[in-house]
Amino acid sequence: MCLMVALTVGCAVACATDSIAVDYSVGITVNTGGSELAPYYISSNRRGTVTQQHSVLMNACVKREMDTTRRLSWGAGVEVWGGWSSSVDYQRYDSESGAWTANPQHPARVWLQQMWIEGKYRSVFLTIGQKDIEPGVVNRELSSGDLVMSGNARAAIGARAGFVDYQNVPFTRGWLQIKGEYGYYRHNSSTWLKHHYNYYNNFITTHYWFNYKNIHFRTCPSKPLVLTIGAQAACQFAGKAFYYDRGENTMTIEMKPTLKAFWRALFAGSGGENLGDQTYVQGNHVGSWDIALDYRLPGGSTVRAYYQSLWEDGSSIGKMNGLDGLWGLEYRSNRHGIVTGAVVEFLDMMSQSGPIHFTPMDLVDDDHPNGSDIKYKATGSDDYYNNYCYNGYQNRGMSIGSPMARSPLYNTDGYMRFTDNRLRGFHLAVKGDLGSQLSYRAMLSWRKSLGTPFVPHVVPLTCTSMMVEAIYSPRRVPGLRVQAQLAHDHGTLYGGNNTGVLLSVTYNGIFTIKR
Average per-residue pLDDT in the chain? 91
Element (H, E) at 162: strand 157-163
- Over 60: is that where the pLDDT of 149 sits? yes
Average pLDDT over residues 82-97: 96
* Contact status, residue 149 vs residue 131, Cβ threshold 8 Å: no
pLDDT at 365 over 90: no
Q: Residue 283 phi/psi, 5° resolution?
A: 90, 170
Amino acid at 66: M
Share of the chain above pLDDT 70, in %: 90
Q: What is the mean pLDDT of residues 208-217?
A: 97
pLDDT of residue 278: 44
Of 267 and 300, the one with more pLDDT? 300
Average confidence (pLDDT) over 296-311? 96
Which residues are within 8 A (CB) of 241 and not within 5 positions of it... i.e. 6 or more apart? 203, 204, 205, 252, 253, 254, 255, 389, 390
pLDDT of 182 > 50? The answer is: yes
Largest Cα span, the chain: 80
Torsion from C-alpha of 253, 256, 260, 262, nearest 10 degrees: 110
* Structural domain count, the chain: 1
The predicted-structure confidence for 56-70, as pLDDT tens digits, reads as follows 999 999 999 999 889
The answer, yes or no, to whether residue 184 has pLDDT greater than 90, is yes
* Rounded Cα–Cα distance for residues 137 and 278 (Å): 35
In this model, does residue 215 exceed pLDDT 60? yes
CA-CA-CA-CA dihedral for 411, 415, 421, 427, to nearest 10: 20
CA distances from 475 to 2, 209, 258 (A): 47, 46, 56
| 52 within 8 A of 30, measured Cβ to Cβ | no
DSSP state of 362: G
What pLDDT, on the 0 to 100 scale, is given for residue 281?
A: 62
Q: What is the pLDDT of residues 91-138, one digit of tens each?
A: 999 998 999 999 999 999 999 999 999 999 999 999 999 999 988 899
SS3 478: coil
Question: Residue 514: what pLDDT?
Answer: 78
Q: Which residues contact 484 (CB under 8 A, 6 or more apart)?
A: 469, 470, 501, 502, 503, 504
Choose among 56, 394, 423: nearest CA to 197: 394
Give the single-character DSSP code of 150: -
With pLDDT > 90 as the criterion, what percentage of the chain qualifies? 80
- In this predicted structure, the answer to whether residue 154 has a pLDDT above a threshold of 80 is yes
Residue 6's pLDDT band, with cuts at 50, 70 and 90, is very low
Q: What is the DSSP letter of 287?
A: E
Whether residue 19 is predicted with pLDDT greater than 90 in this model: the reply is no
- The enclosing domain of 103 has a CATH number of 2.40.160.130
pTM: 0.91
pLDDT tens-digit map of 244-280: 999 999 999 999 999 988 988 887 654 455 444 444 5
pLDDT tens by residue, 419-449: 999 999 999 999 999 999 999 999 999 999 9
Which pLDDT tens digit goes with each residue over 310-322? 998 778 888 889 9
- Give the residue numbers spanning the domain of 448: 2-513
| pLDDT score for 356 | 73
Q: Which residues sit opposite 317 in a β-bridge?
A: none
Quick: pLDDT tens for 444-454. Answer: 999 999 999 99
Separation in Å, CA 457 to CA 8, 423, 446, 462, 492: 52, 11, 18, 11, 12
